[in-house]
Structure 1
């Protein structure tokens, strides 16, 4: 039997703050919070989740793994996320790419894909 995907672990300078940002961005909620970690999921029993853990140093290079989000309206979603504190990120993407690269408040890149067709 193959393994089940439980969560993605995110290193964070401020796990509680970053978890709350991503929970709002994704429509998730906090399902576990301790001084050492904060986990968010769509629902308490829904996998996968995002687990935010503290690290002492800031992010310094491009992520090797990132999330892709596919909204109903790419332009509106990019605007909403930027209003929440995301910022445009340059990772070498082509100007005519079908996605927009943003970074969360701690600099973790993610993509907002074009709307489904």
Structure 2
């Protein structure tokens, strides 16, 4: 049996707005701009993607699953994401080499430090 990772689904109050934010944050391409299923991918034919779907309830607790990103320049990337509308987040991480941010709907993600060596 073989499995291919197609996409990660993200519940959202406003799938279009959140999908557009992530497309800009990642530099990804929009492959479906429907309000019911807004999907972005690194390139049109490249997987996995992020699929944003509407849900009526608001986010209430820390995400059980989150994305980690390793930039070339951690501080420059944090500054860029904050300028796009991300916010710092405290999920109890304490002092760590990574920084936890939230997207505009409060979904946590981490910006890791530079890869050693």
TM-score (norm 1): 0.96
- CA-based RMSD: 0.8
* Counterpart position of 2:76: 76
For residues 16-31 of structure 1, the aligned pairs below 5 Å read: 16-31=16-31
Q: How far apart are the structure 2 equivalents of 1:58 and 1:33?
A: 22
Deviation at 1:57, TM superposition (A): 1.4
Q: How many residues align?
A: 116
Q: How far apart are the structure 2 equivalents of 1:34 and 1:89?
A: 30
For residues 14-53 of structure 1, the aligned pairs below 5 Å read: 14-53=14-53
Secondary structure class of the residue paired with 1:91: coil
4+ runs of 1 displaced by more than 6 Å? Answer: none
Structure 2 residue runs of 5 or longer lacking an equivalent are none
Q: Does 1:115 align with 2:94?
A: no
Secondary structure class of the residue paired with 1:25: helix
Deviation at 1:35, TM superposition (A): 2.8
Structure 1 residue runs of 5 or longer lacking an equivalent are none
